[in-house]
Copies of this chain bind each other. A is one copy, B any other.
Amino acid sequence: MSTTTDRPLRVALIGTGFMGRMHAHAWRTAHRFFDLPARPELTLLVGRDPERTAAAADTFGFAESAGDWRQAIERADIDVVDICTPGDTHAEIALAALAAGKHVLCEKPLANDVAEADLMVAAAERAGAEGVVSMCGFSYRRTPALALARRLVEDGRIGQVRHVRAQYLHAGSGTLGDIGAHSIDTAQWLTGDAIAGVSAIMRTFVPTRPVLDEQVGLGGRAHADAPRQTVTVDDAAAFTARFAGGAMGVFEATRLATGHRNSNRIEINGDRGSVAFDFRAMNELEFYDASDPAGEQGFRRIQANEPEHPYADAWWPAGHGLGYEHLFTHQIVDLVRAIAGGTPVSPSFADAARVQRVLAAVERSAAQDSLYVTVEGENP
């Protein structure tokens, strides 16, 4: 499948929740600021309730709507299927879309379990051989400050990585799969290394919790008299990790960190320097260069929205600050370029499956009194 500038890139988006709205915004916005080889067209929005989906299509800017995701697969004019549904439906939709030769953007988590993820990876690789592009939505990779961190690490500026320290502190909702997966992906991507094994602890502090509707559910507060449901997921997880390259990691994810809204933090210490990031200051990267002269060393707070920084020159003048949704717009930019160029794009399904294997290892370790568990497929 090829895409030229002569024809638009027709997108079907599956899912009308918070994440669907975000993706729609990104598809609408990318070509307004970036020079893209193909212009996305919001062709079809798919949701379960036909009436609400039609209204959402109008709000989100889609030309048409449908009540069954299979319609997106069947339509020959659809180029891209963007999957923003709950995680347990990802595999079925993605496999069908790939089989139909559609490019696929799939929100994280990639799949229900490692087995499913492996099927998706295999399908993505087969389709990839035919020029079909697939990508998993670990959007934090597209934060300019983190992309700058990756560049510094890749260029050897912090030397041999020894410590990875990642926290995803939240008060409200989220689980290991929801928020911890971000930390795992970011850590593996930033270091260019893989987590080889983990020792984990998981906790459920609150056995029941109020039912929240989807919109409020992320970071919101519930009314005191809301109905309560039994909690089947963990409130918090922490694990130590060994990376294949020798680094040591400490990870923590919780939805009971009172006072934290979305504290997604990561710090990496190498033998020549360090980088540190906190999503609360998402436009900044802290960088310590041990080769600075003695007496002048210190963490440097880089405002990562200058022309030299990844993605930043498409936007406002330096210092004017990007927000959360820019990560998604950048994701579309990279995806569209990959589709047009017939090149792979990260995070691939394989990258996402690797995250899933780490999550699986975390769960296995937690179930065995924190015993060290090797991540499947990685050398310890």
Which residues of A line the B interface, CB within 8 A? 18, 21-22, 24-25, 28-29, 31-33, 59-61, 148, 158, 162-163, 165, 167, 169-170, 172, 199-201, 203, 205, 216-221, 236, 238-240, 242, 246, 248, 250, 252, 254, 256-263, 269-274, 279-284, 287-290, 292, 294-303, 305-309, 316-326, 365, 369-372
Sample of 16 further A-B pairs with CB below 8 A, known A163-B257, A258-B269: A162-B254, A162-B258, A170-B319, A199-B201, A218-B317, A220-B318, A239-B240, A250-B252, A257-B269, A279-B319, A280-B319, A280-B321, A287-B298, A296-B302, A298-B302, A369-B371
Q: How many copies does the complex hold?
A: 4
**With known contacts A295-B309, A370-B371, A158–B258 Cβ distance under 8 A:** yes
* A280: B residues at CB distance < 8 A: 281, 283-284, 303, 319, 321
Q: Which residue of B lies closest to A236 (CB)?
A: B248
Instruction: Kindly state the separation between the CA atoms of A274 and B169 in the bound complex, as whole angstroms.
Output: 12
* A61: B residues at CB distance < 8 A: 32
Nearest-neighbour CB distance to chain B for A137, whole angstroms, equals: 15
**With known contacts A32-B60, A269-B258, A162–B205 Cβ distance under 8 A:** yes
CB-based contact A320/B370 at 8 Å: no
* A298: B residues at CB distance < 8 A: 259, 284, 287, 300-303
CB-based contact B248/A250 at 8 Å: no
Contact among B218, B273, B299, B323 with A326 in the assembled complex (CB-CB below 8 Å):
B323
A-B contact pairs, 26 of them (CB 8 A): A21-B33, A22-B316, A24-B32, A31-B59, A32-B61, A162-B256, A203-B248, A205-B246, A250-B250, A250-B252, A258-B274, A259-B299, A260-B269, A262-B320, A284-B298, A289-B296, A295-B306, A295-B309, A296-B302, A299-B301, A301-B301, A322-B324, A323-B323, A365-B370, A369-B372, A371-B372
Contact among B32, B296, B319 with A219 in the assembled complex (CB-CB below 8 Å):
B319
- Looking at A59, A256, A287, A317, the one whose CB has the most chain B CB atoms below 10 A away is A317
CB-based contact B18/A25 at 8 Å: no
Contact among B219, B254, B306, B365 with A317 in the assembled complex (CB-CB below 8 Å):
B219
Nearest-neighbour CB distance to chain B for A291, whole angstroms, equals: 11
Contact among B148, B158, B272, B273 with A295 in the assembled complex (CB-CB below 8 Å):
B148
CB-based contact B172/A258 at 8 Å: no
* A258: B residues at CB distance < 8 A: 158, 162, 269-274, 288, 290
* A219: B residues at CB distance < 8 A: 306, 317-320
Instruction: Kindly state the separation between the CA atoms of A371 and B28 in the bound complex, as whole angstroms.
Output: 50
Contact among B167, B236, B272 with A162 in the assembled complex (CB-CB below 8 Å):
B236
CB-based contact A199/B319 at 8 Å: no
CB-based contact B256/A269 at 8 Å: yes
Contact among B199, B216, B297, B308 with A370 in the assembled complex (CB-CB below 8 Å):
B199
* A32: B residues at CB distance < 8 A: 21, 24-25, 28, 59-61
Instruction: Kindly state the separation between the CA atoms of A216 and B33 in the bound complex, as whole angstroms.
Output: 15
CB-based contact B274/A317 at 8 Å: no
Instruction: Kindly state the separation between the CA atoms of A16 and B33 in the bound complex, as whole angstroms.
Output: 13
CB-based contact A294/B221 at 8 Å: yes
